[in-house]
Structure 1
Amino acid sequence: MPRRRTALTSAAVVGLSLLVAPTAAAQAATPTKPIVTRAALDPALVAGRGADVDFLEQEAENATTTGSVIGPSRAAYTLPAEASGRKAVQLAPGQYVEFTLPAATNAITVRYALPDAPTGGGITAPLDVTVNGKAKRAMTLTSQYAWLYNQYQFTNDPNADLLHPDWWITECACVPAQTPGFPGISKPFRPMHFYDEQRMWLDRTYKAGDRIRLTASASAPWTVIDLLDTHLVGAPKVRVIASNVLFFGADPTGRKDSADAFDRAIAFARRSGLKVYVPPGTYQVNRHIIVDNVTIEGAGNWYTVIKGREVALDTPLPDGSVHTGVGFYGKAGGSSNVHLSGFSIEGDVRERIDLDQVNGIGGAMSNSTIDGLHIRHTKVGMWFDGPMTNIRITNNVIVDQIADALNFHTGVTNSLARNNFVRNTGDDGLAMWAENETNAGNVFDHNTVQTPTLANGIAIYGGHDNTVSNNLVADPLREGSGLHAGSRFGAEPFTGHLWFTNNTTVRAGGLDLNWNLGLGAIWFYALDGSIDADIQVVGNHFLDSTYNAIMLVSDWPVKDLYAISNVNFRNTRVDGTGTSVVSARVKGAASFENVDARNVGAVGVNNCGSFNFPPTGSEFGLTDRGGNDGGWLAPWMLPNTFTCDDRPPVVAPPPPAPW
């Protein structure tokens, strides 16, 4: 793509202060009626889509506060942009935000941000939690798992120079190492991944209408509260007849390492035909637990916590890992009949090292199930390296990851991820990556992905006969968007069909900072080869897209080599775009039927083709199959009229509303 200079909007650390301008005055400290949202939207706008979760979400900007609302903003490297709904509340010491409970509650999750330490590594500060002015408790917040900087694979050091001075950067519109007199960069360079979340039990169950107040301490110059999730957690699950890890020496206080005890319990369970049971407690595990032909059940992910440190290895492993940590992995060559449920995995990953196997779940597990886990602070929540088949991943919560939440990598077939909730990943939320061996027959269905700070909500890289359906994706930030199909990263070609059905994206279609170019809420990218499989995009809703709703693109060096064709859009709603409904920057073709659009910021179709501008018209053709309401697809645009505006100005649309 052509690359031009762009202004950098940056959140900067100065000592321990963050330069963020509040955009709203403090609200009056009077009780407010609770506003329950999903992805910062009225739940009616996303009914039937996304995960059906057992908590209620409330955005801090809708609550009572003596702090300041920051945002809205979608500019990378800022606190509002990484917040749910692109707004949050910033508190000075002593200020608070107060939520009214919408239902009975005995536990809470707080999504928050704290400053980094001046030299990196994070800080820790308490947050006072009171209910109805009583029952004061302290929740411990930390930014030790937040704050990445610089270029991929990033660093924890806010004072670092460029990691790759031979890479193009938009800030100078140059390659610094090749630019005489380059003055350097402002530091910290490209701060990101600000937020973390913490769960806490309350002292008892409180009723609807009670008030939870979160008050910032003096231990941090500011605290940002993004949202509160309220839970009513049921009783722990008990299994009396089982291979109980306590019988084999596991320590539920977390003081002693329990990895060997888990191994003994698993071995006994396999010999005796029993399930492994992990009672309530916190268990220290600092390495992989290898699982095959075994069922491991916890008492519930609020009760059973398996927690470990990241451990540096004396010598790298053959796969390149230089660390290990807590995780449940299939055996070499692949496992089968593994069933994991009802526990939490708490990792200790604070930096991105791509070769490290420090994932919550890893390896290959065929004919297996993973249900009801809570995973955070690992590199990737679940990373599967095939070949493998028939895994069912359901009802899990995966948050605060350095990279992906879930990746079907290389030869994963006939598998399902359904009803999973993902928030705050440092790469794709859910991905299928057919590197070297194809992925086929897989389904991502009824999942929610919020606030990925890099890459996409849901991404499909090659493969055949895969389906993405009934998902909700909100607030992707940069170098990616909501839904994505890409011929890239050495993936096998797309063949057969790929279906995107009945998904909703909101506040997607962000800016690719390498290209300085707005993406589509759904985008197709031909980088390694053409995309010509049968692609059906049916019943999707694209709400409040920052730039385009739909994008089809190829990279500039291969624009005359590869095409995107046979993409068919039907029964689609586009409610709000900053620029266009369709942006075509590639040769090929697509069809449109019953695609309705409103609140479009620029011309409905931005058709640049492959930028050769032949007299016969654009190299990209559009077919009108009828029923396309809203005037966005005018007859004069068909079949391939140039309407190319390389980077049209953005017109922010109004908030989404019932159709």
Structure 2
Amino acid sequence: MSRSTTRVPPRWSAAATAAAVGLGVLVAGGTTAYASPSAAAVTRAALNPSLVAGRGADVDFVEQEAENAKTNGVVIGPDRTAYTLPSEASGRSAVKLIPGQWVEFTLPSAANAINVRYSIPDAPNGGGITAPLNVTVNGGSSRTMTLTSQYSWLYNQYPFSNDPNADLLHPDWWITECGCVPAATTPAPQITKPFRPTHFYDEQRLLLGKTYRAGDKVRLQVPKNSNAAWTVIDLLDSQLVGAPKINLIAANVLAFGADPTGRRESADAFDRAIAFAKKTKLKVYIPPGIYQVNRHIVVDNVTIEGAGSWYTIIKGKEVALSEPLPDLSIHTGVGFYGKDAKDGGSNNVHLSGFSIIGDVRERIDTDQVNGIGGAMSNSTIDGLYIQHTKVGLWFDGPMTNTHVKNVTVVDQIADGLNFHTGVTNSSVKNSFWRNTGDDALAMWSEKTVNANNTFDRNTIQSPTLANGIAIYGGKNITVSNNLVADPVREGSALHLGTRFGAEPFSGTINITNNTTVRSGTYELNWNIGLGAIWLFALEKNIDANIQVVGDHFLDNTYNAIMLVVDWPVKDLYSITNVHFKDVRVDGTGTSVISARAAGSATFENVDARNVGAVGVNNCGSFHFTPAGSEFSLVDLGGNDGGGTTGPWLAPWELPNTITCDDRPPVVVPPAPAPW
């Protein structure tokens, strides 16, 4: 969530929350790995690609994890403890280098471009530093990338601070670390600073200048004189980038005064090109170059094409406003915006083939500093690369029939994309999302219902807060064929919630054929583990027809499935009409299912293995009646497998046997394997 939404930490009463078990799910390690037998291994979300075939985005780059590469540095992790460098790394491991050390990747296929995901330290008082990283191929001449931590390192409570020395932003909130509300505690506890560091990683792309072959060696080395005490390399993406696209029959922005060197502001030139294109019924073309744009470009009934996201880069500074706008924004910055919905919105907008690179370094929810914004109906967004904005794409409806595909969105302060308020008949497909600071993909039916929307074939990696995919109310929604990996805290891979003032769920909600991995995070306010998929009835019942079919939940940190109602409203709301079918659960730290609500769900052909604790943790709504739990599990047959305590479902006197132990010892499952 973003903009004016407030994340108030949920709380369970003392009756429902005993002292938290330590989060030692996977022990953090440090091992020198001079050579690896899998130095050329290609992964998807740090897994063998065969385990996720048919799920996630079909991208034009290949991923290689640094912990599999050759290095004289130190492998950090695996570790899923929030606020640690491994926890935010892909696969929960990375390589840490000190000056003079290196990591070397073997190209698995021809490439002329790379992308490096990395972390370097913050400045002592915040604000970030820059530091060099040398790139060589096959021991040839070196090129230097200038890394930065100016867009990473947030601290403290939501909505976070850039100051590592800041005091608590909300001393009246519950603090897990002290088990207290500091403002109500005498003497007030001393919170370790920096408090809750997070959002450590950034990415940088580099065209290599020539095409290299499979088997060539790409070495990333920290210079001996680097001012960064350490450099963490998470992964390398390599890619064969095609030639730039040329359009000679278009309104070329250069003809209207745009500066491809980036020295002069080009926003007015873009406006002139758009106005001319609309009169002449031409497309707008942005040729290769870096264009400085420091405000919104308003788009309506226009097609804008770049030469490709590696070649056409639209980059802007964040600009402080002299006074707040009516929407309470206090900054502006680069972004392509449809007209406001109250003014009728925009129509027939088509954007493709360029990058939007912002300059957002802090989270201010009222700011409109998103890559794409406003309302756009009957529109398409195709092949964009968006980095360092607040939200990659934030649509405020009502609007309809807009389709996002083939985009890459990384390093956001808040959401990756949000369909907000009355977005209908729209989709997000075949797109890649990494290192968002909130939900990577969200549909939020605030005040007006979202309906008939689809999130399909997306890959999501390492959202540092909240969920991979979150659906807040809505009608006839489909979430299908997605791959979601490594959510870090206060959320998980897949989430359905009646929260944030959302309208209720209705119609059919299809959660089908998705794969999650290393999900089911520890909820830092409740002190319990979440599920890889979790349903949360906070403000209304969840009673639409919810079909969870064909999903694979792999290497779950805690539970695979969770159904929960917040303690203060546990006797007001329930979760019903949920159906799990043809689901595979491969590894749980604790249970297959954790039910902390009244209601019911059906289970058919749900197969599980490597289950760490009792298969069903059924607390219901904590009344523990003689008749059993208030949550009923309906066995429709074919539910096989289990773990350390035997078959996951069969032994229990269904439908509502109380098996309430929501903090059992965590048993680390083996790595996922072919079923």
For the residue of structure 2 that corresponds to 1:358, the secondary structure is: coil
Query: Could you say which residue in structure 2 is the equivalent of 1:654?
Result: 670
Counterpart pick for 1:553 among 543, 564, 567: 564
- Distance across 1 between alignment mates of 2:368 and 2:356: 15
TM-superposed CA distance for 1:635, in Å, is 4.3
User: How far 1:113 sits from its partner (Å)?
Assistant: 0.2
Question: Does the aligned pair in 2 maintain the 1:9–1:78 contact within 8 Å?
Answer: no
Equivalent residue number for residue 154 of structure 2: 148
Question: Which AA in structure 1 matches 2:666?
Answer: V
Per-residue CA distance 1:119-163 (angstroms, 9 max, x = gap) = 000110010000001121001100000000000000000000000
Which amino acid is 1:405 matched to?
Answer: G
Q: How does 1:205-284 map to 2 (within 5 A)?
A: 205-217=211-223, 218-284=226-292
The residue that corresponds to 2:188 in the other structure is: 182
Percent identity, please. 74
| CA shift for structure 1 position 497 | 1.1
Cα distance in 1, alignment partners of residues 19 and 651 from structure 2? 35
Structure 1 length-normalised TM: 0.97
Distance, in Å, in 2 between the alignment partners of 1:183 and 1:331 is: 48
- Cα distance change, pair 529–438 in 1 and its aligned pair in 2 (3 A): same
Q: Does the Cα contact within 8 Å between 2:594 and 2:662 map onto a contact in 1?
A: no
Q: Determine the C-alpha separation between the residues in 2 that align with 1:271 and 1:637.
A: 72
Whether 1:587 and 2:612 are equivalent positions in the alignment is no
**CA–CA separation in structure 2 for the residues paired with 1:161 and 1:430:** 31
Deviation at 1:225, TM superposition (A): 0.1
Which residue identity is paired with 2:558?
Y
Structure 1 residue identity aligned to 2:661: D
- Pick from 514, 517, 520: which aligns with 2:528? 517
Pairwise mapping of residues 155-166 of structure 1 onto structure 2 (< 5 A)?
155-166=161-172
1:262-288 alpha-carbon deviations (Å, 9 max, x no partner): 000000000000000000000000000
Contact 1:6–1:171 (CA under 8 A) maintained in structure 2: no
Q: CA deviation at 1:592?
A: 0.2
CA distance in 2, matches of 1:396, 1:261: 25
Partner of 1:641: 657
- Given that 1:22 and 1:68 are in contact with CA atoms closer than 8 Å, whether structure 2 keeps it comes out as no
Give yes or no for the alignment of 1:59 onto 2:75: no
Alignment of 1:117-136 (within 5 A): 117-136=123-142
> Displacement, 1:636?
2.6
1:343 maps to 354
**Aligned to 1:199, what secondary structure does the other structure show?**
strand
Q: Contact (CA 8 Å) 1:31, 1:100: kept in 2 or not?
A: no
Q: 2:488 aligns with which of 466, 471, 477?
A: 477
Letter in 1 for 2:634: T
Q: Amino acid of the residue matched to residue 256 of structure 2?
A: F
Query: Runs of at least 4 residues of structure 1 off by over 3 A?
Result: 2-10, 30-33
Match of 1:16 in 2: none
| Rounded Cα–Cα distance in structure 2 between residues aligned with 1:612 and 1:447 | 40
Question: Is the 2:30–2:75 contact (alpha carbons within 8 Å) kept by the matching residues of 1?
Answer: yes
Give how far 1:9 is off: 7.8
Any conservation in 1 of the 2:39–2:68 contact (CA below 8 Å)? no
Partners of 1:111 and 1:140 in 2: CA distance: 13
Instruction: Tell me which residue corresponds to 1:291.
Output: 299
What amino acid is aligned across from residue 200 of structure 1 in structure 2? Answer: L
* Alignment partner of 1:408 is 2:414: no
Aligned equivalents of 2:28 and 2:88: distance in 1? 15
User: 1:212-234 deviations in whole A, cap 9, x for unaligned?
Assistant: 00001322110000000001000
| Residues 186 and 134 (structure 1), Cα distance of their counterparts in 2 relative to 1, 3 Å cut | same
User: Residues of 2 paired with 1:311 and 1:530: CA distance?
Assistant: 43
Which one of the candidate residues 181, 194, 199 is aligned to 1:193? 199
CA distance in 2, matches of 1:6, 1:190: 17
Q: Which moved more, 1:643-652 or 1:428-437?
A: 643-652
Q: 2:56 aligns with which of 50, 54, 62?
A: 50
For 2:40 and 2:514, how far apart are their aligned partners in 1? 27
Q: Could you tell me which residue of structure 1 aligns to residue 615 of structure 2? A: 604
After superposition, where does 1:570-585 map in structure 2 within 5 Å? Answer: 570-585=581-596
Deviation at 1:5, TM superposition (A): 4.3
Deviation at 1:31, TM superposition (A): 8.5
Match in the other structure for 1:14:
none
2:135 and 2:219 in contact (8 A); partners too = yes
Q: Against the structure 1 CA distance between its residues 286 and 317, is the aligned structure 2 distance closer, same or farther, given a 3 Å change threshold?
A: same
1:614-641 residue CA offsets vs partner (Å, 9 max, x unmatched): 1010000010000011121124341000
Is the partner of 1:636 in helix, strand or coil? coil
Cα displacement string for residues 543-581 of structure 1 (whole angstroms, at most 9, x for unaligned residues) = 000000000001100001100000000000000000000
* CA displacement, residues 489-508 of structure 1 (integer Å, 9 cap, x when unaligned): 00000011111000000000
Asked whether 1:468 is paired with 2:479, we answer yes
> Residue in 2 aligned with 1:113?
119
Report the residue type matching 2:437 in the other structure: G
CA displacement, residues 422-462 of structure 1 (integer Å, 9 cap, x when unaligned): 00000000000000000000000000000000000000000
Cα distance in 2, alignment partners of residues 271 and 149 from structure 1: 49
The equivalences for 1:302-321 within 5 A come to: 302-321=310-329
Aligned equivalents of 1:550 and 1:70: distance in 2? 29
The 5 A counterparts of 1:69-80 are: 69-80=75-86
Aligned ranges 1:361-510 → 2 under 5 Å: 361-510=372-521
Deviation of the 1:316 alpha carbon? 0.2
Distance in 1 of aligned mates of 2:569 and 2:627 = 21
The 3-state SS of whatever aligns with 1:622 is: strand
Cα distance in structure 1, aligned partners of 2:332 and 2:22? 37
Q: Which residue number in structure 2 is paired with residue 526 of structure 1?
A: 537
State the 1:590 CA deviation: 0.2
The alignment covers a number of residue pairs equal to: 649
Contact 2:21 2:663 in 1 (8 A): no
Change (3 A) 1:462 1:145: same
Aligned to 1:25: 32
> CA separation in 1, counterparts of 2:384 and 2:525?
36
Mark the CA change 1:592 to 1:437 in structure 2 (over 3 Å): closer, same or farther.
Answer: same
Q: Secondary structure at the match of 1:263?
A: helix
State the distance in 2 between where 1:40 and 1:637 align.
39
Once superposed, what is the RMSD of the aligned Cα atoms?
1.3
1:436, 1:637 → 2: CA distance?
42
Q: Which runs of 5+ in 2 are unaligned?
A: 1-11, 642-646
Task: Describe the shift of the 1:221–1:445 C-alpha distance in structure 2 as closer, same or farther (beyond 3 A).
Answer: same
* Alpha-carbon shift at residue 32 of structure 1 (Å): 5.8
After superposition, the Cα gap between the structure-2 partners of 1:580 and 1:32, relative to the gap in structure 1 and judged at 3 Å, is closer
Selected match of 1:40 from 40, 46, 55: 46
- The answer to whether residue 565 in structure 2 is matched with residue 564 in structure 1 is no
Return 5+ residue gaps in structure 1 as ranges: 11-19
Distance 2:451 2:23 in 1: 41
Pick from 602, 619, 632 the counterpart of residue 648 of structure 2: 632
- The residue type paired with residue 674 of structure 2 is P
Shift of 1:331: 1.3
Looking at structure 1, the residues matched to 673 and 519 of structure 2 have their Cα atoms a distance apart, in angstroms, of 16
1:198 partner amino acid: Q
Relative distance call for 1:85 and 1:31 in structure 2 (3 A) is closer
Match of 1:315, SS state, is coil
The TM-score, its normalising length taken from structure 2, stands at 0.95
Alpha-carbon distance between aligned partners in 2 of 1:577 and 1:59, rounded to the nearest angstrom: 23
